[in-house]
Every structure is written in structure tokens, then in C-alpha cells.
A and B are shown apart, each in its own frame.
Chain A
Amino acid sequence: KNEVEQSPQNLTAQEGEFITINCSYSVGISALHWLQQHPGGGIVSLFMLSSGKKKHGRLIATINIQEKHSSLHITASHPRDSAVYICAAKGSARQLTFGSGTQLTVLP
């Protein structure tokens, strides 16, 4: 069993839809990262959170430490949001354990 589980693996949405990607982890963490990876490999760090909720534009990330669960929400999705979204749990000595990623495709 992976220490970080993401769901769904693949997600196709229509432009404008509200999107939720889930991440559950079994390890103790100091923080959880949400990353966005575009075709070609470049990765952008979207959020790093250790409690509560963060918002940046149309993106919202939440984390529940007790339940060991985090969600990434995208409001009013757009085709340019199409990418792979990866959650990563930060454990001891700054080691990141990554989820397997969610491939999001937003159709116009």
C-alpha cells in the first residue's frame, strides 16, 4: 500500500466545472504539497500547507490533519488547467513521498 494515495487517477471535466482531487496519507507529515506538472515535465508548486485551507485564484487546498486527508479544488475549470496534479507528503528530513498523480483534462 502506498503511503500517499491520490484519487481519481484520471479526471475529465467540462470547462466551468468544479473539480476535486483527493489525497490521503498514512505517514506523519510536517506539510503537504500540491504540485502541477505540465506535459514536458515542468513542475510548479501550487500549495504547501500544514493545516486549514489556502486559496490562490481559482485553486483551493484544504487539509485535515486528524483524518490525514487533503483536497485540491479548482473552481470554474478551464482547459489551461489540464495537467497532472500531484500531492506530496513531507516527512522527516524533508523527504517527500509522492502520490501517483491525477491526470486532469478539461474540455472546452
Chain B
Amino acid sequence: EAGVTQSPTHLIKTRGQQVTLRCSPISGHTSVYWYQQALGLGLQFLLWYDEGEERNRGNFPPRFSGRQFPNYSSELNVNALELEDSALYLCASSLGGAYNSPLHFGNGTRLTVT
């Protein structure tokens, strides 16, 4: 069984640019979660998608957005990049209907903003 896959693995962008990160969940998983791990700040919840809809978002500005496609893969978009957006972005998936379904994490995308 393929795990959660994220692309790209590394990315370097310039302040003000836009970036799109991608995540493919485990087959059969309908829920996708995005997390940010900035240096010194720990993991923070960004977004939760299930069945194509945004179900919850963390305390992040609107320039962080995303979507989930009919095949349950997901994109995270960050507009107007700022230096403090440099972080590891992690995606996780779980079975959508089961409230306490275990999470499976991808290996993350490391974004550097210069």
C-alpha cells in the first residue's frame, strides 16, 4: 500500500511569490490535513479537507488556501510568500467517516523563502 506522498520534497521561492504544494492520500482515505512546522514554532494545524470540502482551518491568514480534488488529493497554496513561511509543510490523511481514525503522514515539503 502506497503511503501519503507529497511533492515537491524541497522548494525555494522568493518573497512575494506564490507556491503550490501537493499531497496524495492513502488509497481509500478521504480526509487530508495540512500542517506547518516552522523552525522554533513546532507543528501547527493549517487545514482539513474531507470529501472535497474545507472542514476546518487553523489560525493562518487567507493567503494560505487549498483545495481537495475528486480523487481526494489536495493542494496547498500560499500567496504573497513571506520569509516566515519558510517551514516544513506536512500532509496527513485518514479515513473520513471515522472520527478517531489514525493519521498517516507524508514526508513533507520543505519550503525556503528568500
Contact = CB atoms under 8 A, between A and B. Distances in A.
A48 B106 CA distance: 17
Contacts of B42: 86, 98-101
B6 to A, nearest CB: 10
B77 interface: no
A93 B56 contact: yes
Contact of B48 (A35, A40, A95, A99): A95
Given A97-B45, A98-B42, A42 B31 contact: no
Contacts of B56: 93-95
B44 interface: yes
Interface in A36-93: 40-45, 48, 50, 86, 88, 90, 93
A31 interface: yes
A33 B45 CA distance: 14
Given A30-B100, A88-B43, A94 B105 contact: no
B85 to A, nearest CB: 16
Interface string B70-114: 000000000000000000101010000001101111011010000
A42 B91 CA distance: 10
7 contacts: A41-B90, A43-B90, A88-B43, A90-B100, A94-B56, A95-B56, A98-B42
B107 A98 contact: no
B88 A94 contact: no
A41 B43 contact: no
Contacts of B110: 41
B37 interface: yes
Given A94-B33, A95-B58, A48 B103 contact: yes
B45 A42 contact: no
